[in-house]
Amino acid sequence: MYPMAVFKEGGYRYLPSVFQYSAGVAAEPGFQLVQARFKSVLPIQEAFIYIEQHLNKIGRPLNAFAHCELRSPKQFDDQGFIAFNRKYVTTLEKWGIYQAQTQEGSFINPVARTNVCPEYFGPTEVGMYSFAYTVPAGPDASASFILAGGGDAKSGPEPYRERIVAYGDTSNAGLKIKMEFVVNEMHQRLESLGFHWSDVISAQAYSVHNIGGLVEEVFAKSGRMHCGINWYFARPPVSGLEFEMDLRGSVNQIFV
């Protein structure tokens, strides 16, 4: 089980993780998550401007922003990923969401995120595919959560190459190890937020490798495929990563 924190100003709880994103968010009682998907990927700064206007229009504060999906042209190296993320969080800091320095000397970032690289028809620069925010809801609102994209690497300060499980092994045996690692991570995140696989409404998998033959063994037999799987032919955001997943539960979806 991972520790959980409440972002009261935004109306959601979250799983603290790395500085660029949280591991997942869930609407607090009295709130529901809404996911807005762009008709086409917007450059990230344009997307942030749109989000600010959208939230103002519907009467929600900027700190209601809880999650986003990004699309990148290609995988980053370690340093490129750090540089991008430091720029990314400046908007969240301006909105009063990200706190670079707390009294304990650490950071706070409740916003969850998925960032992947489509193998075909991807953007020419990092852009936003969708975003999510909280809105008031009645007491009977369904379990509303979004888990951030989780890839085949252990957490830690070491370079990705040292943390990626079965590094460089894209055989069936290697992919199975990677997929099982990610599925176990999703399981821990679900339980930490108070949910189970039966609460999952939508599961997304991201890989350019043939994962189809492993779906039964890794997902179906273990009861982790109640809702099926949406497979995106895309790579995780950092070079060397081969498989990523994210999950959603009862999130209202709109197109903007």
What's 153's domain CATH number?
3.30.1330.40
Q: Are 39 and 128 in contact (CB under 8 A)?
A: no
Give me the pLDDT at residue 136, please: 96
pLDDT digits (tens, 9 = 90+) for 23-68: 999 999 999 999 999 999 999 999 999 999 999 999 999 999 999 9
CA–CA dist 129, 26 (Å, integer): 20
Please name every residue paired with 231 in a beta bridge, in sequence order, or none if there are none.
Answer: 205
Q: Can you tell me whether residue 161 is helix, strand or coil?
A: helix
Residue 92 phi, psi (nearest 5): -65, -35
Say which residues have a Cβ less than 8 Å from residue 95's Cβ, sequence separation at least 6: 52, 62, 63, 65
Q: Are 28 and 144 in contact (CB under 8 A)?
A: no
Question: Which residues form the domain of 154?
Answer: 5-255
Helices (H), the chain: 44-58, 78-94, 160-163, 172-193, 215
Give me the pLDDT at residue 158, please: 95
Q: Quick one: DSSP state of residue 212? A: G
Q: Are 174 and 166 in contact (CB under 8 A)?
A: yes
CA–CA dist 79, 59 (Å, integer): 38
Please name every residue paired with 200 in a beta bridge, in sequence order, or none if there are none.
Answer: none
Average confidence (pLDDT) over 190-199: 96
Residue 127 phi, psi (nearest 5): -135, 175
Q: How many domains does the chain have?
A: 1
pTM above 0.85? yes
pLDDT for 249 beyond 90: yes
C-alpha neighbours within 13 Å on the C-beta side of residue 30 = 4
